[in-house]
Each structure stands twice: as C-alpha cells, then as structure tokens.
Structure 1
Amino acid sequence: MRTGEPLPAVGDVLAALATGVWHCDTGTGQVTVDAEAARLFGLPARRATLAEARVRARLHPSDWNEIAGVVQLAAAEGTLAESRLRVMDEQGRVVRVLRSRSRPSFDPERKAYELIGTLQEVTDPEPGTATGSGGAVTGDWRRSREAFLLDAGRALAEARSTQEVLRVVSNLAMPGFSPDGLAVFGVEGDRLTVIGHHGQRSGDEGPFTEMSLETDYPAAEVVRTGRAVYLSSPEEYRSRYPLTWPLAQRFGRRSWAFMPLTVAGRTMGAWMAGFSYPVAFTPDERSVLATVARMLAQALSRAGDAESQRELTDGLQRSMLPVLGPRIPGMGVAARYVPTGGGLQVGGDWYDVIALPQGRFALVIGDVQGHDVRAAGLMGQLRIALRAYASEGHRPDAVLSRASRFFHGLADNPDDPGDLRFATCLYAEVDPATGTVETARAGHLDPVVRMADGTALLRATAGGLPLGIDPDCDYPTTRLALEPGETLMLCTDGLVETGGHDLYTGWLRLRQVLEEHHGGLDDLADTLVQAVIGPSSHHTTGPLADRREDDIAVVLLHRDEDTAVRRPVRRTMLTIAQAEPERIATARRHLRDLLHDWPDGEQTDAAVLLLSETLTNVLVHTDADALLVAEVTGEPGERRIRVEVFDNGADLPHKRRPGEMASSGRGLMLIELLADAWGVAPRGQGKSIWFEIYESGAEGSPDFEGSGESEGSGGGWAAA
C-alpha cells in the first residue's frame, strides 16, 4: 500500500484475515452475518440476516448453551466473551471449529442480550488438552468441570450452617486450578468483615476486618460494583491496588479472583480465591468461579436464614418454656422439650412447674393441636392462664375447668366447629412433704410411675374432654402417692407414638427404657428422648434434639430415697367409684403390672382373681367407693404381695355356704382357698379387707418351716 492511499475498509481487512463478523440480538431472535461469517457457518458466502434457530442448527448443541452462559457472565463483568463453536454438517460431523470473541451488553428494558463479535477458524485440540490462553476448553476437562459443579452444588445445598458452608468451600478441588487460599467477606453497614477463611493462619484476617468499603482493595471494589476482579499476576495486583498490595504480598500468591456473592440482585459480600501459581482466568475458568460464587452466595444466604430462624426458635422456646427453678426439698425435677423439624421448630407441646402456697407445687404438661405458629401462640396464652388459675389457689379440677372455658373463648368464631382448636393437659398438684400427687386430666396420657426397684406402671387417672371442646366439662381428680425412690413421668404423645408406634407399642418401648435405666434423673430424661429420636443434637432446651413427626415434652419428678426405708416396696393405689365398675379392669391391669416379674404365673392369676372378688364385693354389697392399695415387699425369692381394699361401709363380710346353683357367696371361700393370709380390719369409719400371697420361700408360705396364720386370717372371718 502506497503512502497517502486511504485505508481499506475494516470488513475487507477482516475478510483478508479469514475473520467473519456477526451480530446477535436475543430480543429479536435474529443473527446477522457478513459473507465470511456465513461461509464459516457453512452457509452461502453472502451477507444475511438469519433466524437464531437456523444458526443454532449449524452448531453443536452443547456449544450454543455454553456461549449463552459465557455471554451472561461477560455482560455482568463487563469483559469479553470468548468461546469455541463446533460447526456440524448434515450428518452430525464436526467440519470446523470457530473461535468467537465479542463484547456483549444487556438491555434491562428489553431484557435481552446483544453481542457484536468476530469468528475465526481454529485447529481443534486433542481431547483433554488446553486450547491456549483466552480459549475455552472442551473434552475431558469440560466433563470433569461439570461433575465438579454437580458435586459442589450438592454439598453446598446440604450445608446447614455458615461453618458447614465454609468447610465445604475450603474442600472444593476445582478441575485444573484449585486455589490454596480462600476468604469469604461479608458486609456490616459500610464495613467489610471476614466471615471465614482457609489456607491462612488464625489472626491473618486482622487487617481485613472492619475495612471501609471505600478502601482501594479488590474485595471492597467487588462489593461496591458487584463485578468480579481477576488479577493474574502480582504485578497486575500492585499496579491496580498499590495501597493494599502490601497486605496481600506477604501471602506469596501469584493470582487472585475476587467474586461477588449476589443473592436476588443484592451483593452480600465477596469471595476471594488465591492461587500459588499464575492463572490466566480463561472464560471457562471464570465461568467455574462465577458458578461456585453463585452457589456459595445461595448457601450462605440459606444458612444465615436458618441460623436466624434457629435463634428465633431458641428465643421463643426460652420465653415459652419455664426454668425449673431452685431445688425442691426432697424432690428432683427434670424436663425436656423437642420440637418437630418443620417451620420455626416450635409447636403446641409445653410443660410448666408452678410454685404454690405452703411449699406445694404443680406440674403441668399439655399439647395444643397443631405444629404451627398459631399453635405456639395459643400454647403461650393457655400456659399463662393455667398459671394464673393455679396461683389463685384453685384445686386441680377447678384449674382445668376454668382453663377449658378460657381456651374455648380463644377461637376466632367459637360457634364454628371448624375454627375450634383443642388442647390436652394433665395438671398435678404435689405435696413434697407427703409425696401426695393430686391429678386432673383433660384428654391427656395417663402418668407413669417408676417404682424404687425399677418397675414402671401406668397409673390410671380420672379425666375429662380435652380443653376447649366443652366449656362446661368437669375434670375429676385422682390422688396418687409417690413413695420414696419413685419417679413420676408425664409426657406428650410425641414421646410414645413416634416412629410408627401406637400408644401400646410405644408404651412398651418406654417401659423397657424406664426399667433398665440406672442413673440420675437428667440422664433418664436424656435416655428417654434418645430412645425415640436417636443421637443428641443442639436444637432443644435440654441437650437433645432432632426433627420429628411430632413435638415431644417430658417431665420427670423423683422423690428422694428415705433412709428409714429398709426394704424395697412396690405400691399402687386406685379408687373405684360406685358409678365406675369398669375401673375394676384397670385395677386388675395395675396388679398384673405390679407382679410382672413374679415367677409363679398361677399365683399372679390367683391374686388378680381375688382382687376382682374383693372389689366387686364392695361395689355390690355396699353403697361406698372402694380404695385399693397393693404392695409388693421383700427381696426377690422372698417377696409377698399384700392387697387391701378399703370402704366406709359398716357391715363386715362373712362366709356363706352357697348352694350348687347360687350366683354369689363364693368370694370369701376363694380367698380362704387361694390366699396365704387374709383378714378384715375395722377402720373407724369403714373397714379394710386384705389378703397376702407369698413368693416361694417367703415367711408364711407353705414351704417355709414354722409357718402359721396371721391374726385375723382364716377362721377369724368365720366369726364375722
């Protein structure tokens, strides 16, 4: 070319260099190509405007998807988009490989990308080899990258806390260019903070914490602009950030990538990946880093939300559940609450310990229908109401009656049955001096007593409907006696029916735990919960938790051992009213549970039969209620069972000679025949009928030398 001649047109120069020009607009879906670009795409060599689908049909399917991702990344970072495109023929064979370079832009109004770039034919590299600086990568590297991103995404999605997220990121092995140092920066106000780091010593983060966002530092710039910063060499770092270069120089790294952590369009921090060797940061490498940064930002956001939710949950639990308070003289109390795994992990289960006058106190446990925030709110209101009624000095039955009316009125529309919620509850008033426990029950599970020798019994108690169903429902009381060394357990159904168990099989599981446990009260509470939910966790008010299908609440009350007691005693008490003859079956079950390890099954059957006879005798021949007291004393092998039935009737029983067809009159004959000792004792107002059966070898048994009848046994009844 001679001096002074005009320069040739740009298109002619590019055509001379076998370089085509193309323009793509995702908004219109059209691609404009010049003659050289058309030729490279395998089309007639002339300028044309084509539909996007026609161009895409000429390319390998994965390459078109690849260029879409590269364009989005480059538009966000304001950098060039570089990629390799494989042109296919009609038989699906690769006829040439093109290198595309363009500077894309994004139109937020049209929500469309536009790019103008060049196309050049290049030599296709062998699979698994790099394509040179500035080129994309295909083959094995691309497949390993995809596998890496899948594994990284899965691991980050499963991380539940910020520390777990940071641990996952620190263990990421990126294909071909793994960093040796990482740091995650957050933002508090106008300051940069260090959330976590890896590959540096503890304390190295000091100069970077509380750094102003206006500082000439890459992470601060990333947070301000929302764009990534790539530094391929120490020289580039020093020239772009001379003020903060001394802070980075001492780590001895050669390349750095500072990526924005963006969630929902807001930059919440920055991620630094440092390399001990030079990295060119090709488009493929930038794509990997950007993808990891997006996943990291999402994982940190989820973990932060989960931690905030757990903090809120813990606050709700602390405000709704009581502190057990100072030690009760002669008594020990332990409690656990385990929420379900859904929502805020709070629900309708609760327990409470309420101080009452004269050294007494009340134990309360209950379950409001539902596992949502409304259930938790109703539970809080009901708990406060129960505390107020108890503090007024009402008896257990009056406390539950007033609470039921109160809870019924909490419904938005009490006249609409569909708007009503109910709550089960058990209220127990305890006298520590005597061990007396008076209970009232509103549709809740019966309490359990673990005796001094480890035997666990369900204690049947009178009860009424759950709170809130019938505002005029009555709640009768039942009196229990907690002996020294015994433990009372109150729980919600989540402890019993979890894991596919019903009330019966769930109770058998818990009874085994209660009877086999040896340890303190807190350890017993932990063991009961572990038996249901498995290993311990950190989401409860106690040391245990897990995410279950139902809330769990359990309260244990233990009466301290009495040093004056020299022999192990099992005792059960039960009242059978004239209007409740069906409770005789409950009494039989109590006695069988009391004798669960008695070696002679025939003696157990005899004791149960005699119990039925004595209770039926009271209900049929008197107008009084019957009080049952049954106890097992002595060491194994030398034990005795004593059953005593009290009533306030004045008439003493007497033996009769029933005829062959008589329907009654055989009860005392059976007692005389099957019991080792028996009798009747006047009690001022009323009397008691008792009998004893001895384990083989016990004093008074037929096998024991020198045995004899107790006073008032056998013929003593004949005189009556």
Structure 2
Amino acid sequence: MRTEEPPPSARAGASALPGAEEALRALRSGLWHWDTAAGVVTVDAEAARLLGLPPVAGEVTEARVRARFHPVDWNEIDGVVRLAVAEDSLAEARLRIMDERGRVIRTVRSRSKPTYHRETGSYELVGVLQEIGEQPPGAAAHSPVTGDWRRSREAFLLDAGRALAEARSTAEVLRVAARLSMPGFSPDGLAVFGLAGDHLTVIGHHGHSPGAEGPFTAMPLDTDYPAAEVVRTGRAVYLSSPGDYRRDYPTAWRLAEPFERQSWAFLPLVVAGRTIGAWMAAFAYRVTFTPDERAVLTTVARMLAQALSRAGAAESERELTDGLQRSMLPTLGPEIPGVRLAARYVPTGGGLQVGGDWYDVIPLPSGRIALVIGDVQGHDVRAAGLMGQLRVALRAYAAEGHRPDAVLSRAGRFLAGLTDAVPYGATGPAPPGEAAETRFATCLYVEADPLTGVLEIARAGHPEPAIRLADGTVLLRSTAGGLPLGIDPDTDYPTTRLVLEPGETMLICTDGLIETGGHDWDTGWARIRSTLEEHPGDSLEELADGLVQAVHGPSSHHTTGPLADRREDDIAFLLLRRGERPEPVTPTRRTLLTVAQAEPHRIAAGRQQLRELLHDWADREQVDSAVLMVSETLTNVLVHTDGDALMTAEVTGEPGRRRLRVEVTDASDDLPHRREPGELASSGRGLVLMDLLADAWGVDPRGEGKSTWFELAESTKSAGPEREPESEPGT
C-alpha cells in the first residue's frame, strides 16, 4: 500500500516548527506546577531562572519560592487564586522577583489554571511564567505591583465599606453604590437586580433614564440575559466589548445595545452562601477586567450584598413593628355625644418601634365608655406581646359588663398567670430549676358616663389622672389604687368616683410623657401642667399636638447633667373633654319583654309590641324586617337554650333619622354559629336573615350569658299608606 507524502512546502513548515521547550525559552517563558498540599513547586529550567533560582529543572520547596517573591505580591496571590476558582477562570498576576539581598531583579507575569481540592482545602496550579519588560505609560496604574494602585484601591474599599455599612435603607444603599468612584475605572451605569420567585426584578438603577428598567423587570431566570445567568450559576460574567456581548448573549443584546455601553460586569450578590440577586456595572469605555479590577468589583459586590441584606432586614423589621403598632392601637371610633376624645402614641424608646405602652377606648354594654391606658414593663418583643394579650383580656372583661375594680382584678390574675409560666425571651414554660421571669404592668381604667360626666376610676400602680378645669386650672386628682398588675393575683383595686363637669378635660398618660427628656417626676409634671394651662382650650387635637411638642421640643433634647443619661420611653396618652353645654337629651322609646321557656306564645306579643313601638316608622318594610328578626332571635333562645329571653327595644333620634336597637339577652354562654340551611331545612336561617336585613348586628358576651342585637337606621323612602298590622300567630 502506497502512502502519499506531504508536499515539500508542508514538510518544510513542519520541520521549521520548534519544540515546546524551545518555543517557551524563545518567549522567555517557563512552566511551573504548584501543589499547596505538598508544599512543592515543580519548575522547568526557564521557570527556575525567572524565579532567581539556578536554571535547573526539578522540585523546589514552597518556602524557597516564596522567598523570591516580593512580600506584598505574595499576599496578593491567595486572593487572585480564590477569585479565579470562584469564576472558573485563569489566575493572572504580576510578581516582582527579588535576589538574596531583597532587590527586585525582574517582573514576571503568572498565568495558571487553579484547581481547588475541597476535601483537603488545598489548591493546585499549573501555568506559565513570563518575564515582562517596562510597563507602558499609564499601565502601572492598574498593576497589582504598583504601590499607588494598591493604596488607592485599599482606600476606596475602606471608604466604600464604611459608607455601605452606614446605609439604613435600600434607597440609601443604592445611592451609595451610585456614587462609588473606583480607582482607575468607574462605571457610569449601575443596576441592582433582586429575586421575586423565579423572576428577576430591578431594585434600583443609576445612569439610565427613568423607565429604562422596564424591559428588565419581571424577567424569568431562564432568560438569555447575563444577570439571569449570574443568579442561576452564582458566577460573575465579564463582557469587555459589545462584540463579546453580542456573541455570548445574542437575544439580550438588542435590549442592551441602545444604552451604548462598551463593557459590562455582572456579579452575584451572595449572602450566607445564597445568591440574592445580581449587580451590573456598565462602562462607557473598554475595560479588560484584569484580575485586580475583578477583585475590586467582587469585593464591592460582596459589600453591596451585605448592605442590601441588612437594609432589607431593617425595613422588614420597621414594617413589622409599624404594622404591629397600628394593629394594637385602636381608633377612637365615631363621636360620642357629650364628650370629645383625642389620643397619641409616640415611640421614642429606640430600635423597636413598639413596646409595652398602649391605650384603648371600649364601648360598654351599659352605654358608657371605658378609657384604658397602661404600660407593660420593658421595651422589647416580649413586652409588646404581653401588651397585646393584656389589652385583649381587658377588652373582654370590660365587654362582659364588669365594674372597674373587677376588670383590673381579673386582668392582674391573667397577667400573673402569663408571666409565671414563661421565662424571659422564651415561648414555652420555664425549664426545671430555672426561675420564670415576672413581668408587671401599670394600668389606669376609667369608666365614664358621657351624659352625667361621672368617672369611676381604678388604678394599678399607674400615674394618676390630671384634670384641667374650665378656667384653665390644672389639678392632679388623687385616686386610690393597688399594686401593678401581675405582681400579686389577690390585689384589690378600690374605685374612686369623680365627676367631670362641662368644659373640663381629663388627661391620662404613661410615664413616658412625664419623664421623657431627662425629667424626673416633679419637673415632668410641671412641664405637662404648664402646657395644659397655657394651651388654648378650643381644639382637643391641638392640645394633644401641643403636649407632644412640649415633650419633644428643644429643651427635651438638650438636658444636661445626670438626668440626661436616663433612658427614653414611649409616650401614650388620652384626653377626654366633656362638652361645655350638655347635649340635649333626645326622647327615647323603649320597651322590654321577658319570654319564658314555658311561654312561647309571648313571642307573638313581642312582635306586636315592636310594631307598636314603630307605629310611625317611615319605612314599613323595615318594620316587617325588624319583626321577623325579633321573632327569629326569640325563637332561637327558646329552642337552643334552657333559659328565658329578655327583649329590649329602643328607638333614639329625630324622626326621619332615628335608629332602632333591639337586644335579646339570655343566660347561655353558647354563641350561635352561622349555617347555610338546605332548601327544606326548618332552622338555621336566623343569622342569615340578620346579615341580609340589619344595618348592623352582633353577639356580645355578658358576665353571665350573651346578648344578640341588631340595629336599623330609619329609611325615608315612602312605603305607602299605613296598614293595619296583621294578626300574629303563635309558635
């Protein structure tokens, strides 16, 4: 078999190619293999020469090689290798070689491929060393062996780290990132991407026109876009030219082309090993992204990720505490005839924006109102949680119709049971041998009659109320009281009876209003008294604002001496003012009827009485609805309980704008439950009917039993001539 020979020209070219060692020697380059686990560096003759060693191939110790490197350059190697491993790229560095006297004899460039052995934590590098001549003008600015570059970089990173650490919100972090001026190369376009499920979202950007982020918002992670790839893989993407971008990401290039940038760096934002987003730095000029430049960008990305994580956590905490505060502090509700109310809550205690202070306004079954203000010991999450539980318990005891002393006694036992069972900072019972933490709360409970101005006050270790008389005189009312809630479950809370005259104002507050600003008890009350006496008395809301301003004014922020070191506390207070002239009493119609278990026929009498009560009601259809709801409610009591029913019907207001309220009270604690009756069902429609026909309805627990009620507002639509009521059948 005959084999064709290559043409002469091919044979000549092949014979002209030098061997690998000869080519490396001609290029003044040498090969090396560095095993950090063994501490051995294997070099060929040229690499040994470049390292300042005898030009003989073989193995040398790591310590001997290290002695030939400039100490500053040696410290750079570890960071360069780690960065190359993270990016799965080549490790490149310029290294100064010194002789035995410590003089720099040459500069070499190292290019190697690192391999990381996770089981041993060691690296293995295989690469080349090449001697380089003098740097061209300006090139030294980017060289890792140039002291000016290193000092500039270190100063920049220190300043950037400090600024990012001080940023307290995402917006501040983005502003800091936009102002970063990196040494020797600074991007003119920035974008920070976050994650929303399996989509990218633009958290913020700089250097682009408003709305430019539109095409990049809600971008799926599987999109052919560099930021999406960075988030998927956790590896940085560097694009040194538009050609690189167009070649590697042809689909996304049409989105990036209009911005007319020349180079791009996309880096992962990693926190605790988890990629939370990506950072894009875009340049208006070509950037080669040397190892030093990549190291700077990587460091900035790490700091940026940490800053964004801290800012996000802080914003979440602020949102949580603000929501907690809003949910725990009630609204004052509709106006109450005869009195006016104003309230404020001002968190001033530090990081957590809600603590143990609270106030509440509770409508009572008797038609009166209860004003409650209290302060749970401490200013932390535990105090806030106890405050919420105690507030709910107080509302429940008040709604059951208990007197002020009984409400506080029950609340004290409730709080003692909570704090005895749960240690500080825990969510379960105290472990054996560990003492549970005892938390207490001060509280002031006022039951007020809007018509007569009678106040019945029970106090548990709380500041006493202050009364501003009609002529502006302020008196601190002495009231009896007991220990704070939660200390002794058997404490009694005597009741003090006061009368608030027309034009007078009562202030109840927590000690934060008195002592904030470094004041003690005496000077704090003097400040509050002065504000109450000097402030115009026309607007209760303006008076409330004046009290807050007095506490947070310039004097409260510039107190000196020992008092200035006292810890600030939250502020909560309530103002109650009785009208200057008693409101005219509107005539009220009222009827009561008891229906016993043995007298079901009296349900018909109840329907008849309600029709008589509403004989001049404008809308006859509403009368029929009211009669039907009364019949259903009374019947439910007789069918589902073992006790009697008491019906109370009351009409208040002027003709045409009147309101009917009907209550049916029984002694059973079992609350009715709404059901969806079937087509042939004979029961289960009572609550459904009230939901459809009543303007408002509900079921309120009482001390013993419950009250089912509904309300109707008089409609002025014409219902035709009044007709005679039909006869009412029995049940």
Q: TM-score, normalised by structure 2?
A: 0.68
Contact 2:517 2:568 in 1 (8 A): no
Distance 1:499 1:23, change over 3 A: farther
Contact 2:404 2:495 in 1 (8 A): yes
Match of 1:474 in 2: 492
Mapped partners of 1:29, 1:457: distance in 2: 86
* Amino acid corresponding to residue 279 of structure 2 in structure 1: W
Question: Which runs of no fewer than 5 residues in structure 2 stay unpaired?
Answer: 1-10, 423-429, 555-565, 583-731
Match of 1:459 in 2: 477
Answer yes or no: is 1:227 the counterpart of 2:245: no
Match of 1:83 among 82, 90, 93: 93
Match of 1:157 in 2: 165
Match of 1:262 among 246, 270, 290: 270
Distance 1:433 1:297, change over 3 A: same
Match of 2:323 in 1: 315
Match of 1:373 in 2: 381
Q: How many residues align?
A: 550
1:336 deviates by 1.0
Mapped partners of 1:516, 1:3: distance in 2: 106
Answer yes or no: is 1:248 the counterpart of 2:266: no
State the secondary structure of the residue aligned to 1:262. Answer: strand
Deviations 1:42-72 (A, max 9, x none): 3444445555455444433332232221211
State the secondary structure of the residue aligned to 2:208. Answer: coil
1:84 deviates by 1.9
* Amino acid corresponding to residue 461 of structure 2 in structure 1: G
1:371 deviates by 2.8
Match of 1:281 in 2: 289
Mapped partners of 2:335, 2:71: distance in 1: 74
Answer yes or no: is 1:63 the counterpart of 2:91: no
* Amino acid corresponding to residue 446 of structure 2 in structure 1: A
Mapped partners of 1:507, 1:263: distance in 2: 50
Contact 1:401 1:472 in 2 (8 A): yes
Match of 1:169 in 2: 177
Mapped partners of 1:141, 1:44: distance in 2: 33
> Which shifted more, 221-230 or 41-50?
41-50
Mapped partners of 1:156, 1:31: distance in 2: 41
Answer yes or no: is 1:437 the counterpart of 2:455: yes
Deviations 1:196-226 (A, max 9, x none): 1122222222211222222211111111221
1:400 deviates by 1.0
Q: TM-score, normalised by structure 1?
A: 0.69
Match of 2:521 in 1: 503
1:350 deviates by 1.8
Match of 1:360 among 362, 365, 368: 368
Mapped partners of 2:517, 2:35: distance in 1: 58
1:6 deviates by 10
Distance 1:149 1:450, change over 3 A: farther
Mapped partners of 2:475, 2:66: distance in 1: 77
Deviations 1:67-122 (A, max 9, x none): 22121112111222222223345665434333222222323333333322222333
Mapped partners of 2:304, 2:409: distance in 1: 55
Contact 2:377 2:439 in 1 (8 A): yes
Mapped partners of 1:321, 1:218: distance in 2: 48
Answer yes or no: is 1:199 the counterpart of 2:217: no
* Amino acid corresponding to residue 575 of structure 2 in structure 1: L
State the secondary structure of the residue aligned to 1:385. Answer: helix
Answer yes or no: is 1:97 the counterpart of 2:107: yes
Contact 1:441 1:461 in 2 (8 A): yes
1:464 deviates by 1.0
Match of 2:402 among 376, 394, 399: 394
Q: State the superposition RMSD in angstroms.
A: 3.2
Distance 1:465 1:82, change over 3 A: same
Output aligned runs, 1:202-217, within 5 Å.
Answer: 202-217=210-225
> Which shifted more, 430-439 or 244-253?
430-439
Match of 1:72 in 2: 82
Match of 1:489 in 2: 507
Mapped partners of 2:123, 2:502: distance in 1: 81
State the secondary structure of the residue aligned to 1:244. Answer: helix
State the secondary structure of the residue aligned to 1:219. Answer: helix
Contact 1:525 1:554 in 2 (8 A): no
Mapped partners of 2:452, 2:522: distance in 1: 32
Q: Indicate the percent of aligned positions where both proteins have the same amino acid.
A: 69
Deviations 1:279-338 (A, max 9, x none): 222222211211111111111122222222223223322332222222233312222141
Mapped partners of 1:161, 1:468: distance in 2: 39
Mapped partners of 1:29, 1:531: distance in 2: 72
Deviations 1:485-513 (A, max 9, x none): 54433222333334544333443444455
State the secondary structure of the residue aligned to 1:85. Answer: strand
Distance 1:551 1:325, change over 3 A: farther
* Amino acid corresponding to residue 396 of structure 1 in structure 2: P
Mapped partners of 2:479, 2:64: distance in 1: 81
Distance 1:222 1:478, change over 3 A: same
State the secondary structure of the residue aligned to 2:251. Answer: coil
Mapped partners of 1:299, 1:560: distance in 2: 53
Distance 1:453 1:230, change over 3 A: farther
State the secondary structure of the residue aligned to 2:398. Answer: helix
Mapped partners of 1:317, 1:484: distance in 2: 33
Match of 2:343 among 329, 334, 339: 334
Deviations 1:166-209 (A, max 9, x none): 22212222222222211111222222221211222222222112
State the secondary structure of the residue aligned to 1:410. Answer: helix
* Amino acid corresponding to residue 331 of structure 1 in structure 2: R
Match of 2:194 among 186, 195, 201: 186
* Amino acid corresponding to residue 343 of structure 2 in structure 1: A
Mapped partners of 1:489, 1:31: distance in 2: 83
Mapped partners of 1:55, 1:511: distance in 2: 81
Mapped partners of 2:320, 2:487: distance in 1: 31
Mapped partners of 1:314, 1:509: distance in 2: 29
Contact 1:232 1:279 in 2 (8 A): yes
State the secondary structure of the residue aligned to 2:250. Answer: coil
> Which shifted more, 504-513 or 353-362?
504-513
Answer yes or no: is 1:428 the counterpart of 2:437: no
State the secondary structure of the residue aligned to 2:77. Answer: helix
State the secondary structure of the residue aligned to 2:407. Answer: helix
1:2 deviates by 7.4
Contact 2:46 2:55 in 1 (8 A): yes
State the secondary structure of the residue aligned to 2:139. Answer: coil
Distance 1:54 1:458, change over 3 A: farther
Output aligned runs, 1:478-627, within 5 Å.
Answer: 478-515=496-533, 517=535, 520-529=539-548, 532=551, 549=567, 551-559=569-577, 562=580
Contact 1:487 1:558 in 2 (8 A): yes
Distance 1:132 1:401, change over 3 A: closer
Contact 1:449 1:488 in 2 (8 A): yes
Mapped partners of 2:44, 2:218: distance in 1: 54
Distance 1:356 1:232, change over 3 A: same
Contact 1:332 1:560 in 2 (8 A): no
Match of 2:138 in 1: 129
> Which shifted more, 104-113 or 301-310?
104-113
State the secondary structure of the residue aligned to 1:250. Answer: helix
Distance 1:479 1:201, change over 3 A: same
* Amino acid corresponding to residue 107 of structure 2 in structure 1: V
Mapped partners of 2:443, 2:154: distance in 1: 56
Contact 1:491 1:552 in 2 (8 A): no
Contact 2:503 2:581 in 1 (8 A): no
> Which shifted more, 31-40 or 369-378?
31-40
Match of 1:325 in 2: 333
Question: Which runs of no fewer than 5 residues in structure 1 stay unpaired?
Answer: 536-547, 565-720
